[in-house]
Structure 1
Amino acid sequence: MSSSYPIVDIHTHMYPPSYIRLLSSRSTVPYIHQPSEDPNADPRLIILASDDDPARPKSARGRPVDGTYSSFDQKRQFMQAHGITCSVISLANPWLDFLDPESALPTAQEINDDLDKACAENNAQPSGLKLYAFGCLPLSAPSQDIVQEIHRLKTLANVKGVIMGTTGLGQGLDDPALDEIFAALAATNTLVFLHPHYGLPDSAFGGQETIAKSGHVLPLALGFPLETTIAVSRMYLAGVFDRHPQLQFLLAHSGGTLPFLAGRIESCVAHEREFIANGGHRQGPKRSIWEVLHSNLYLDAVIYGQPGLKAAIEAAGSVDRVMFGTDHPFFPPLGDDKNSKWLSVESNISAIDGCFPQNEEAQRKILGGNAVRVLGLDL
């Protein structure tokens, strides 16, 4: 892929050294295991509870963690191979949700400083490739610590927002205890990159035995998108966007199934007898789900096909609220050719090209222009 305008990868992950050390020091999910029987083997990342099957040896659990997860050199090589001008890197799931309250803030500060420093060092080089970051929040810490870090992140020149999972403080993103956090995010104009991790219960897919037959296909292909959809729908129904109208979220994987189901959500809200509008006793959403999509939510373009991308653009209201991403380093090429193009990247590019074969301006916006404008990137 080559272009005369910037290509910005908004959805690309890194495990900086401080996070690798943290996971390597643990023995419960999430953790990194170095197989002792083969010191030359890649460490194994056990990131999901379903990965930690006691019937399998630790050396066969999870997924191998090679240099693509933590090497900035390999990130740049990937960018060059695919014509990407700028990457906005973020910590991959599960972020810092698992930390105890006492260690959460200093750990978040160390990781965020690591990311900011690495981006600054990269951006001082003459290569022309730019790196920025989404910071992480110490969500298990007291709320004043979380708010403190939100404000501190605004002083880091290369941190352009934050990444967050769907559990919030542990009770979901509709938890009233998050209001102080959301108020700080809105007041500082901090974009929140919302990314799934926990999926759906194993029973939704037929249990461990069924999941084992197809690996990560069901939890990743279906569980992740539905997790995002449910989290945002709960926020909407709880009035989060009514109380914080300036709050801005970027939803991973094109908003999950939200673009397809927004009309159904709207219909169910309109007919819900629990809500005051229909004679009930509970306050329903004050704005339509479409208004929230058009004013509070951005969607990435990590959807791998034209039908999904068309739905995302339609739901978002315009191409101005959709941004290109790759989900690197996940879904790498399989087999021996490690230098081949990544199917996950090529399919997302192909979807953008297919949706706008004669509209270079629309392509420009999705591939980089929107990210530059929304995040204030210096390219």
Structure 2
Amino acid sequence: METTEFRDLHAHYLAPSTIDRIRAGEFAPAVTLSDEDGRARFTFPTGATRTMLPAMADLDARLRHLDQCGIDIQVLSTWIDMFGYDLPEELAVSYHKSINEGLAEAVSSHPDRFRFFASVPLPWGDAAATVLEDAMTRLGAVGSMIGTNVHGRYLDDERLAPFWRASERLHAPVELHPVNVAGADRLRGDELSNFLGNPFDTTIAASSLIFGGVLDRHPGLRFVLVHGGGYLPYAVGRLSHGRAARGVAPELLRRPEDYLDRFFYDTVVYSPAVLSALASIVGVERLVLGTDYPFDMEPPAVRSMVADTLGEPALARIARTARGVSCRHDETEAGG
């Protein structure tokens, strides 16, 4: 009888070894570290990060939290403040390899509890493809996580084509995480850039993949959208109608609403009513669990909200989907 295994596909981690390499000046002067009241802050060419939560680099605390949540395996991704998309290409390659090596160290220390999504040097598609292949083949990554835009440019930017080809060839899912969100100048107060801007930027990113033809050109690409896919599931009717009414993107092979099955959607939506609506629109089989650990935006009772809202059979189906999206090659060969 198959045992249900629960995986968290939305979590952030920065390895102590990577922090030490930055502290030692390996990527200076482009990337430096300062300590502020016992917390690390990193500076990149275009500015400084937030101060890092200590839990970001604490595997013991992370494991205790996973046990409390009933999560068997967590797929680690870097902290979005560390994307480093403003670094020069050559330095960016070595920097992202360092990020990935740190993620791989965490997996090696607890192979029964962790997997990881690689970080890659954008906006250079060729360099990103090289780093992705290194992470997948040498380090055991199960996919990648990238930002929803690169310096404000959409994800249908032609420079990213080599990365899409590599992701497709390697069967590597791509998780999109909001960064540098649109409309930030009007979302300055009350954390609205997070509360509203994050899901909106995911919506823009997914729409650019649809309207820009990326999904048509790369039929094997798989994407994970955090925060329940933002507003995409609720906007596709308008996108489809508007495309037909105004003659936009006539070369698309399908209506925008028909591309919903090209994405997976995490359950970080907070509301049972929204989760129920999401499941009814995209299908339970497209959902995966997410926590957003170690941030305070983690939904409470991740598993129980899904079970109470959608039922235990749906929770089990979500667990199978997450395993399929984030399995390693050896798991695939074993039947995963």
Q: Any idea what SS the aligned residue of 2:300 has?
A: helix
Q: Deviations over 1:67-106 (max 9, x none)?
A: 3111111211211222211100000203231221121111
Q: Any idea what SS the aligned residue of 2:224 has?
A: strand
Residue 184 of structure 1 aligns with which residue? 166
Q: How does 1:157-196 map to 2 (within 5 A)?
A: 158-168=140-150, 171-196=153-178
Deviates more, 1:170-179 or 1:73-82: 170-179
Which 5+ residue runs of structure 2 have no aligned equivalent? Answer: none
Q: Which amino acid aligns with 1:192?
A: V
Contact residue 168 and residue 178 of structure 1 kept, 8 A:
no
Q: Deviations over 1:212-242 (max 9, x none)?
A: xx2xx20111000001101111221111111
Contact residue 166 and residue 227 of structure 1 kept, 8 A:
yes
Matches of 2:50 and 2:101, distance apart in 1: 28
Deviation for aligned residue 1:346: 2.1
Q: Which amino acid aligns with 2:184?
A: D
Deviation for aligned residue 1:244: 1.1
Residue 264 of structure 1 aligns with which residue? 238
Deviation for aligned residue 1:188: 1.5
Q: Which amino acid aligns with 2:239?
A: I
Contact residue 173 and residue 235 of structure 1 kept, 8 A:
yes
Classify 1:28/1:308 alpha carbon distance in 2 versus 1 (closer, same or farther; 3 Å): farther
Matches of 2:221 and 2:39, distance apart in 1: 40
Q: Which amino acid aligns with 1:373?
A: G
Cα-Cα RMSD: 2.8
Contact residue 290 and residue 315 of structure 1 kept, 8 A:
no
Residue 300 of structure 2 aligns with which residue? 346
Q: Any idea what SS the aligned residue of 2:99 has?
A: helix
Deviates more, 1:250-259 or 1:304-313: 304-313
Q: Any idea what SS the aligned residue of 1:270 has?
A: helix
Residue 101 of structure 1 aligns with which residue? 89
Q: Deviations over 1:254-301 (max 9, x none)?
A: 10111111111111111113x4xxxxxx6442212232111x211111
Residue 299 of structure 1 aligns with which residue? 265
Greater C-alpha Rg: 1
Residue 114 of structure 2 aligns with which residue? 131
Residue 137 of structure 2 aligns with which residue? 155
Residue 68 of structure 2 aligns with which residue? 81
Q: Any idea what SS the aligned residue of 1:285 has?
A: coil
Q: Any idea what SS the aligned residue of 2:274 has?
A: helix
Matches of 2:227 and 2:72, distance apart in 1: 21
Matches of 2:165 and 2:255, distance apart in 1: 21
Residue 336 of structure 1 aligns with which residue? none
Q: Which amino acid aligns with 1:190?
A: A
Q: Which amino acid aligns with 2:107?
A: C
Q: How does 1:303-322 map to 2 (within 5 A)?
A: 303-316=269-282, 318-322=283-287
Q: Any idea what SS the aligned residue of 2:80 has?
A: coil
Contact residue 224 and residue 266 of structure 2 kept, 8 A:
yes
Q: Deviations over 1:127-154 (max 9, x none)?
A: xx5110001111144x332222222233
Matches of 2:30 and 2:149, distance apart in 1: 16
Deviation for aligned residue 1:62: 3.8
Contact residue 96 and residue 137 of structure 1 kept, 8 A:
no
Deviation for aligned residue 1:303: 0.9
Match of 1:42 among 1, 15, 39: 39
Contact residue 178 and residue 201 of structure 2 kept, 8 A:
yes
Match of 1:91 among 78, 83, 88: 78
Count of aligned pairs between the two proteins: 324
Give the TM-score, by structure 2 length: 0.86
Residue 361 of structure 1 aligns with which residue? 313
Contact residue 119 and residue 132 of structure 2 kept, 8 A:
no
Contact residue 99 and residue 140 of structure 1 kept, 8 A:
no
Classify 1:156/1:200 alpha carbon distance in 2 versus 1 (closer, same or farther; 3 Å): same
Give the TM-score, by structure 1 length: 0.77
Q: Any idea what SS the aligned residue of 1:34 has?
A: strand
